[in-house]
């Protein structure tokens, strides 16, 4: 068997011309995985859209219903950062469904990767920062409530703190949140994760990897979760328009190898999502997002 990778064509939806969110990257990730020979077509698993009931595991049902129906007010939509459309509703549920399926496949096979996901700024009753429903929190709670797992560790290495995830899961000791993020970056009002590691501006590969190595092995040994949900955002890259850190492509690849290898040595399943990454050079950005799939392919061969 080959590494399971989850995809859905509805990961991409049209946005108004000039919108700063690089939506096209999600389709390009799929394209570059195939074009570069990282993945073959038979590796891809087509997800099913999530349901409102999935979203309501972590979100106020009134917020879920209002978003799906298109009745959120303009202030709420501005906080999210996207104009409402039926197509975006479908996209939101498709991406959430992909994270759910990726987690299921990881539990079954030890490792699986999505080509979307990482919407960690969505809170219980509102969306924020291009995040509508919090796929990390929802997936962790869904697995827990359905009896598939007892404990989950969310390893969030996006450059921005996973504030929504921390807020939603703060009262559940079995759903543990770990966030390494640039301190002087969005969100400027931080929440309290179970473990927060604020990083200085312009931190480079070496410094970043040393900090990660000083934290993650102990966390894995202390909690030994039934599953790790890994947000492999590439916005810590030095050229990212919303980043402020100074990692390189080789540094990000080594980061991903480190996370996956540490989990594999402990026989802890890992489900990955691509997280944040911002650039007008969509092809370059999309190929950078495939670093997690490249690292996962290496580790998969050692399982």
Q: Where are the domains of the chain?
A: 5-300
5-300: CATH topology is 3.40.800
Task: Identify the CA nearest to 177 among candidates 143, 212, 234, 219.
Answer: 219
3-class secondary-structure state, position 229: strand
Task: Identify the CA nearest to 71 among candidates 89, 91, 97, 51.
Answer: 89
- Global confidence as pTM: 0.98
Determine how β-strand 195-199 pairs with β-strand 5-7. Answer: unpaired
CA–CA–CA angle 147, 228, 105 (5° rounding): 65
**Burial tier of 197 (Cβ tally within 10 Å: 0-12, 13-18, 19+):** middle
> Is 190 a residue whose pLDDT tops 90?
yes
> Is 303 a residue whose pLDDT tops 90?
no
**Burial tier of 206 (Cβ tally within 10 Å: 0-12, 13-18, 19+):** exposed
Once rounded to an integer, what is the mean pLDDT over residues 14-26?
96
Mean confidence (pLDDT) of the chain: 98
Share of the chain above pLDDT 70, in %: 100
In 61-208, the DSSP E strands lie at: 111-114, 152-156, 175-182, 195-199
Q: From its phi and psi, is residue 57 left (phi > 0), alpha (psi between -120 and 50) or beta?
A: alpha
């Amino acid at each position: 068997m080959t590494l399971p990778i989850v995809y859905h064509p509805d990961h991409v939806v049209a946005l108004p011309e000039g919108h700063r969110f690089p939506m096209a990257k999600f389709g390009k990730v799929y394209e570059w995985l195939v074009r570069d020979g990282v993945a073959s077509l038979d590796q891809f698993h087509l997800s099913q859209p999530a349901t409102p009931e999935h979203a309501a595991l972590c979100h106020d049902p009134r917020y879920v219903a209002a978003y799906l129906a298109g009745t959120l007010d303009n202030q709420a939509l501005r906080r999210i950062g996207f104009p409402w459309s039926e197509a975006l509703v479908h996209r939101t549920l498709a991406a959430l469904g992909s994270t759910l399926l990726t987690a299921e496949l990881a539990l079954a096979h030890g490792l699986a990767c999505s080509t979307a996901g990482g919407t960690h700024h969505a809170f219980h009753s509102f969306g924020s920062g291009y995040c509508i429903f919090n796929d990390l929190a929802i997936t962790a709670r869904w697995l827990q409530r359905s009896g598939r797992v007892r404990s989950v560790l969310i390893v969030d290495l996006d450059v921005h703190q996973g504030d929504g995830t921390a807020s939603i899961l703060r009262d559940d000791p079995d759903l543990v949140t770990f966030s390494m993020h640039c301190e002087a970056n969005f969100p400027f009002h931080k929440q309290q994760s179970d473990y927060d590691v604020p990083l200085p501006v312009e931190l480079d590969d070496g410094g970043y990897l040393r900090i990660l190595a000083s934290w993650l092995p102990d966390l894995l040994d202390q909690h030994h979760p039934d599953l790790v949900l890994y947000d492999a955002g590439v916005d810590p890259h030095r050229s990212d328009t919303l980043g402020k850190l100074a990692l390189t492509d080789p540094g990000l690849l080594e980061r991903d190898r480190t996370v996956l290898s540490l989990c594999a040595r402990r026989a802890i399943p890992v489900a990955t999502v691509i997280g944040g990454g911002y650039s007008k050079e969509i092809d370059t950005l999309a190929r950078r997002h495939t670093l997690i799939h490249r690292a996962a392919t290496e580790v998969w061969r050692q399982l």
